[in-house]
């Protein structure tokens, strides 16, 4: 199956600084790359996603970039705030008839220091 | 509002017991997933189902089985629980195709 690697495992930034989390994937057939945020004690929730026909997508302070040739994608958070503190997971998915499996990375614990 | 509900939030079982974890979704999603979450290991896929009675093994299926007799319900079964299956278990569901996956609240299972 797909192998998704995520770095770093922990990240601390000062409030107002930017944070970048990077992921690589192994299956060239993967074409959908979502990012999930999991706050302490809560379930993971989608924050942004990107499809393989797009190189970059932005939603307010969050952006995701995709390099299909290199098989890597990144999450960028600008002007970080304490409420951005959470664990972030990247994922990769392939579109196959009937079966759309979803593989996750190992997660990044982001701490925003006030 | 999508609801994915797991039957228990916390569960304590003894070694060797047969354990059932239930997941129900109310959005008519075709795809359902069971993940295991451990610190430093992220979300590891145990099993995936893309239709009623259809299933695929994920990365760590050993010691687990699943059942999907109805579209809305996906059950994870530990045939003989062992202490190394102590973990947080998360169920998720989504429509066919590359769409948003919705997670249940998780079941923290402790095997003693």
CB contact under 8 A, A103 and B105: no
Judged against a pLDDT cut of 80, whether residue A100 lies above it is answered with no
In this predicted structure, what is the pLDDT of residue A70?
A: 94
Angstrom distance (rounded) from CA B11 to CA B87 = 10
Average pLDDT, rounded, for chain B = 95
Confidence of residue A99 (pLDDT cuts 50, 70, 90): low
Distance CA B46, CA B52 (A): 17
Q: Using 50, 70 and 90 to split pLDDT, how confident is the model at A94?
A: confident
Residue A77 buriedness (CB in 10 A; 0-12 / 13-18 / 19+): buried
Burial class (CB in 10 A: 0-12, 13-18, 19+), A82: exposed
The answer to whether the Cβ–Cβ distance between B94 and A102 falls below 8 Å is yes
Closest to B109 measured CA to CA, from B6, B45, B13, B7:
B13
pLDDT value of residue A53: 84
Q: Nearest residue of A to residue B37 by CA position?
A: A106
Nearest CA in chain B to A94: B98
Asked if the model's pLDDT at residue B97 lies above 90, the reply is no
What lies within 8 Å, CB to CB, of B87 at 6+ separation is B36, B37, B38, B108, B109
pLDDT-derived band at A34, boundaries 50, 70, 90:
very high
Q: Quick one: what percent of chain A has pLDDT higher than 90?
A: 81
Q: Mean pLDDT score of chain A, rounded to an integer?
A: 93
**Confidence class of residue B28 from pLDDT cuts 50, 70 and 90?**
very high
Interface check A62 vs B, CB under 8 A: no
Of B31, B59, B100, the CB nearest to A46: B100
Q: Do A102 and B101 touch (CB under 8 A)?
A: yes
Q: Which of A102, A105, A106, A108 to mutate to test the interface with B (most CBs of B within 10 A)?
A: A102
Q: Which tokens hold the place of A107?
A: 């997660």
- pLDDT band at residue A81, thresholds of 50, 70 and 90? very high
Q: Is A47 helix (H, G, I), strand (E, B) or coil?
A: strand
Q: A2: how many CB neighbours lie within 10 A of its CB?
A: 18
Q: How many residues would you count in chain A? A: 114
Q: Do the Cβ atoms of B48 and A101 come within 8 Å?
A: yes
Measured between its terminal Cα atoms, the distance across chain A in Å is 40
Shortest alpha-carbon distance between residue A45 and chain B (Å): 7
**pLDDT of A75 above 70:** yes
| Residue B24 reports pLDDT greater than 90 | yes
pLDDT of residue A90 exceeding 80, the answer is yes
Residue A21: per-residue pLDDT: 98
Taking residues B45-67, what's their average pLDDT?
94
Asked if residue A42 has pLDDT above 70, the reply is: yes
Q: Is the pLDDT of residue B69 over 90?
A: yes
**How much of chain B exceeds pLDDT 90, in percent?**
90
């Amino acid at each position: 199956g797909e192998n998704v690697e995520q770095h770093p495992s922990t990240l601390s930034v000062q409030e107002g600084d930017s944070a970048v989390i990077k992921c690589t994937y192994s299956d060239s057939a993967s074409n959908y790359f979502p990012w999930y945020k999991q706050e302490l004690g809560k379930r993971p929730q989608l924050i942004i996603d990107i499809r393989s026909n797009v190189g970059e997508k932005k939603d307010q302070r969050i952006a995701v970039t995709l390099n299909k040739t290199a098989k890597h994608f990144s999450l960028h958070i600008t002007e970080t705030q304490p409420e951005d503190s959470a664990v972030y997971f990247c994922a990769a998915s392939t579109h196959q008839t009937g079966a759309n499996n979803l593989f996750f990375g190992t997660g990044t614990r982001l701490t925003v220091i006030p | 509002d999508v609801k994915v509900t797991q039957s228990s939030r916390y569960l304590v079982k003894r070694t060797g017991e047969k354990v059932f974890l239930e997941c129900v979704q109310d959005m008519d999603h075709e795809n359902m997933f069971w993940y295991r979450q451990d610190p430093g290991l992220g979300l590891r896929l145990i099993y995936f189902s893309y239709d009623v009675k259809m299933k695929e093994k994920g990365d760590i299926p050993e010691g687990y089985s699943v059942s999907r007799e109805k579209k809305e319900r996906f059950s994870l079964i530990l045939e003989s629980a062992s202490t190394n299956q102590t973990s947080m278990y998360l169920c998720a569901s989504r429509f066919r195709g590359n769409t948003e996956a919705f997670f249940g609240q998780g079941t923290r299972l402790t095997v003693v």
